[in-house]
Copies of this chain bind each other. A is one copy, B any other.
Amino acid sequence: MKRPRQGLDLQVDRTLALPVYQQICRRFKTAIEQRHLHSNDRVPSIRALAAELKVSCGTVDLAYRILIDEGYLLSRGAAGTVVSPALPPAPDVAPRRANNGAIHAASVDYEGRERKPLLMGLPALDAFPRKTWNRLVGHRLRTSEPARLGFPDPTGDERLREKIAAYLGISRGVSCLPEQVFVTSGLRNSLELILSSLARPGDEFWLENPGYILARLFLQNTGLKLVPVPVDEQGMVVERGLTAAPSARFAMVTPAHQSPLGVTLSLERRMALLDWAGKMGSWVIEDDYDSEFRYQGRPLPALKSLDRNDRVIYSGTFSKSMFPGLRLAYVVAPLSIAAAFRASAYSINAGCPYLYQAAVADFIAGGHFSRHLKKMRLLYAERRMLTERIFSAMLGDRVRIELQPGGLHMLLQLARHEDDVMLAERAHAAGLALHPLSRWYMRGKPRKGFLLGFANVVTEKDAMELATRLRQALGG
């Protein structure tokens, strides 16, 4: 316990405007950044430090939680708390980036939100046609009536709903009326709308295992009974759902590219799922989050296009096809429940800002959307191959890359029996937004690996730099 205290001036000053817990945080950060404290150094216990500083245990606890959250400290449970073994390589390597994020949150969070390279689900921000977009937004900004500053339509802007319906008909084989389309601020908001329209407490809900982690975190707090259904090379194993919970009220699937394994739901499974839903009067939620991007074979029509009995609720997003900062997504409800969705939208939603909705409608109407998607398919195909080539060459002994036929990420399987969560945290600390595959499993023995977003890997130099950083982070 001697060495850590060197250079760590832990006096608190109650006359400062800065609260005591923040003073503690600052002192630790400074000491760690200036290397007065080193990786794996144990820090004092909460009780000991509180007594020494004459502050409450709660104050020290809060400071430690923040430091852990930001990646400076690591809790080893009963073994105490230590300085993080995975500190950023040096204070001058983008310390802000490495430090301002919630590593814990990011590690369970697909969207990550850190502005770190290799974040899965993030489209190529450098390739978005910003000039065109800015022109369209600027035009709406100048020409919209003052009434548009008022409350937005909670079901979505009418013109945008028309454009979405037209796009889905042409591109995804989904035929629907604008009245069936509901604009939301993202998948979680879409799920909220669906569940508030249809769900009853205790309803059984099939979800893919592994499956989209943020959806699961959201669903876990809804009072539904979640039924994990395994995924094989043909997608969700529908028969396993039938055995486990034949009268489930909902099933949520990612038929185009299973999230995260990337497989496609086979035609046989699609028919089995629709058949079950028709017989049981259950609802299938199709999360078609990134079907726009496919590099092998032809894009598959949506599951919804096979839906003769109107049991499929379709969910799409502009986060991948445009950019996530838009916060715009949508749900298509079967006609029989469109009125219920409308009532729910009025009672749970306050609507999304008009400006972006209007500009997206213009972007689609002007043909920019389909042009952009076409360009991105080619660009992503290139970046995917580039990333695969460089990472295979430089990390081939540590990971095996599984290319998926579509989407914006690839799967890196670990060659050794290693803990992907621990390794991903190390990669995070080194400034890489890799996601550990095992966290996407709700139950059972998880596969281990990394989920790596390739859409923003622009040059060979980028790829080599990133692969080098990952190699270093993985260590021995």
Contact = CB atoms under 8 A, between A and B. Distances in A.
Contacts of A106: 346
Contact of A113 (B151, B325, B338): B151
Contacts of A108: 347
Nearest to A102: B346
A221 interface: yes
Q: How large is the interface on A (under 10, 10 to 19, 20 to 34, 35 or more residues)?
A: 35 or more
A236 interface: no
A406 to B, nearest CB: 21
A148 B325 contact: yes
Interface stretch (A3-11, A71-79, A139-147): A139-147
A111 B350 contact: yes
Contacts of A112: 151
Most chain B Cβ neighbours within 10 Å, of A105, A150, A221, A355: A150
Copies assembled: 2
Interface stretch (A31-39, A62-70, A280-288, A414-422): A62-70
Contacts of A21: 335
Contacts of A338: 62
A144 to B, nearest CB: 9
A92 interface: no
A154 interface: yes
Contacts of A90: none
Interface string A30-53: 000000000000000000000000
15 contacts: A69-B339, A105-B343, A105-B347, A106-B346, A109-B347, A113-B346, A125-B149, A128-B146, A128-B149, A138-B141, A149-B324, A152-B325, A196-B221, A223-B223, A327-B353
Interface of A: 19, 21-22, 58, 62, 65-66, 69, 102, 104-106, 108-109, 111-113, 115, 119, 122, 125-126, 128, 130, 134, 137-138, 141-142, 146-154, 177, 179, 185-186, 188-189, 196, 217-218, 221, 223, 323-327, 335-336, 338-339, 342-343, 346-348, 350-356
